[in-house]
Amino acid sequence: MGPERTDALPAAPSPAGLRLHGLSVDGVNQCVHCGLCLSACPTFSLLGTEMDSPRGRIVLIKSLAEGRIDLTDSAVEHLSLCLDCRACETVCPAGVPYGRLIEAARAEIERQRPGGPVRRSVRWLNFGLLLTSPRALALVAAALRLYQVTRLQRLVRASGLLRILPGTLAAWEALLPPLPPAADRAPLPEQIPAAGARRARVALLTGCVQQAVFGAHNRATASVLAKNGYEVVIPRGQGCCGALHAHGGDRARAGALARQTIATFEQAGAEAVVVNTSGCGAHMKGYWHLLADDPAWAARARAFSLSVRDISEQLAREPLRGPLHPVPLTATYHDPCHVVHGQRIRGEPRKLLAQIPGLELVELREADWCCGSAGIYNLTQPEMAGRLLERKTRHVLETGAEAVVTANPGCILQLAQGLRERGAGVRVLHIVEVLNRAYGG
Ligand code: SF4
Ligand code: SF4
């Protein structure tokens, strides 16, 4: 891992400051109530209520942390409607770290309102078992693949059975992408040599759900990195980075998975940790804050966070190496929230796509506006997510593009579902798929 640049990260939070469920919310005091974030907030745009704006939620979080209000049903609703898209952070002149505030608020909601046995069991199944056990996830992926290829899925959908399933199961089923064959889900080799002159050694996060559902994206990422002179190491023993746990308010598991991820990648001896899923990348860049109170891990977490790079950020450091084959395609680009707002990466993906011969890039209206996926928001808040998806797909269709390119599995599933429902033949591609195609993959 590269040398630690502690100057590039803010100071660690004060142990004596405002906290919710042990997480610092001192950032609430940076808000000057100017309201510049209101027009950037998707939920404020749709609902028009102050308590569904960033400024209103900051007041709520501050009041909760100071013990001036209780966590009422209404407070929970306003906080739960937030997408955690962090568009407010991008426009905030006072640098309010909104993403960290809402994660602390969600952890507090989970602490005070864990729900009944059914909800707690479902959370354990997802957060405690599936996301933390690659083996369990692989088994579920294999079973779902069988469900799809045996046409059982078609029968179930035609039978109307989905309408009587409890909770969000029907919504989960609707989002299911075609599960890849076993070869695509298989682990990548531990090391992939650089093609041509070697630039650096980088480690690749293959993730949890990403490897099970979008293993082909991981292969394409490794291949494009190698074509650009990077020796790629894929550390064994890596798993979930804990992003979904942090977003879902499971603070304890998020911390444990962060420690495990840091320890695994430290062994790789790489200059950077490359990530092709935006939520994971943004979360791993924030490990320094998550582990700031742990004296045994704080310095390691800071060094690790500084080494994390989104795939576009890594590749755009130098012009793409040729030869590049033409990819005749009219495409538009959707900015995933946790790339554009969470990591402030806007120009790099466009710069990469512009280098592909034959590809025409047309800009998308409100390209950096959330598509409604937002982790599991589309399952927990289907009505709001549906309105955002409708707005996004309308803009995509206005461009006349044949494909929409993006950089996050959640956005890919959400956009694909929205375009499918509209009967549009627009393809949804991860940027590494397009780059890999330019290299003949
Ligand atoms: S833009 Fe920043 S400082 Fe202004 S109200 Fe929004 S969060 Fe507060
Ligand atoms: S994270 Fe997104 S939805 Fe939440 S307050 Fe900020 S802009 Fe609004």
Q: Which residues pair with 400 in a beta bridge?
A: none
In a domain, 344, yes or no: yes
Residue 296 lies in a domain: yes
As given in the structure block, the two tokens for residue 21 are: 């469920």
Residues 6 or more apart whose CB falls under 8 angstroms from that of 57 comprise 51, 78, 79, 82, 101, 102, 105
Query: Does residue 147 sit in the same domain as residue 210?
Result: no
pLDDT digits (tens, 9 = 90+) for 197-231: 999 999 999 988 888 889 999 999 999 999 999 99
State the pLDDT at residue 302.
96
- Nearest residue (CA) to ligand 2, atom 7: 41
pLDDT tens for each residue of 52-62: 999 999 999 99
DSSP string, 110-131: HHH----HHHHHHHIIIIIIIT
CATH of the domain at 396: 3.40.50.1860
- Would you say 247 and 375 are in contact if contact means Cβ atoms under 8 Å apart? yes
pLDDT at 37 over 90: yes
Q: 187 and 94, same structural domain?
A: no
Question: 107 and 93: one domain?
Answer: yes
Residues near ligand 2 (Cβ within 6 A) = 40-43, 54, 57, 82-88, 98
Strands 403-406 and 359-362: unpaired
1 occurs within a structural domain: no
Mean pLDDT, residues 92-108 taken together: 94
Q: Is residue 301 part of a domain?
A: yes
Q: Is the CB of 405 under 6 A from ligand 1?
A: no
> Under DSSP, is residue 397 helix (H, G, I), strand (E, B) or coil?
helix
DSSP of 331-371, one letter per residue?
Answer: EEE---HHHHTTS---HHHHHHHHTSTTEEEE--TTTTS--
Contact 196, 439 (CB under 8 A): no
**Domain end (from 180, 196, 229):** 180
Contact by Cβ (8 Å): 131, 240: yes
Does position 8 have pLDDT exceeding 90, yes or no? no
What CATH number has the domain bearing residue 61? Answer: 1.10.1060.10
Question: Which DSSP symbol is given to 231?
Answer: E
Q: Which structural domain, as residue segments, surrounds residue 164?
A: 117-180
Mean pLDDT over 296-319 rounds to 97
The CA-based angle 75-77-80, given to 5 degrees, is 105
Contacts made by residues 69-78, CB under 8 angstroms, sequence distance 24+: 71/108, 71/109, 71/112, 71/113, 76/109, 76/113, 78/51, 78/52
Q: pLDDT at residue 5 above 80?
A: no
pLDDT over 90 at 363, yes or no: yes
In this predicted structure, the answer to whether residue 277 has a pLDDT above a threshold of 90 is yes
- DSSP label at residue 329: E
Residues 279 and 168 in one domain: no
CA of 268 to the centre of ligand 2 (A): 36
| Residues ≥6 apart with Cβ < 8 Å to 114 | 120
63 in a domain, yes or no? yes
pLDDT tier for residue 77 given thresholds of 50, 70 and 90: very high
**In which residue are the tokens 């800009």 written?**
363
- Which ligand is nearest to the Cα of residue 80, counting in written order? 2
Tally of CA atoms within 13 A in the half-sphere of 187 that contains its CB: 14
Residues 109-136: tens digit of each pLDDT: 989 998 888 888 888 888 878 888 888 8
* pTM of this prediction exceeds 0.85: yes
Going by CA atoms, what residue is nearest to atom 8 of ligand 1? 31
The last residue of one of the domains, among 142, 159, 180, is: 180
- What atom in ligand 1 is closest to the CA of residue 94? 3
Among 301, 289, 286, smallest CA distance to 11 is for 289
Could you tell me if the CB of 37 is within 6 A of ligand 1?
yes
Q: Whose CA is nearest to atom 5 of ligand 2?
A: 54
Mean pLDDT of the chain: 91
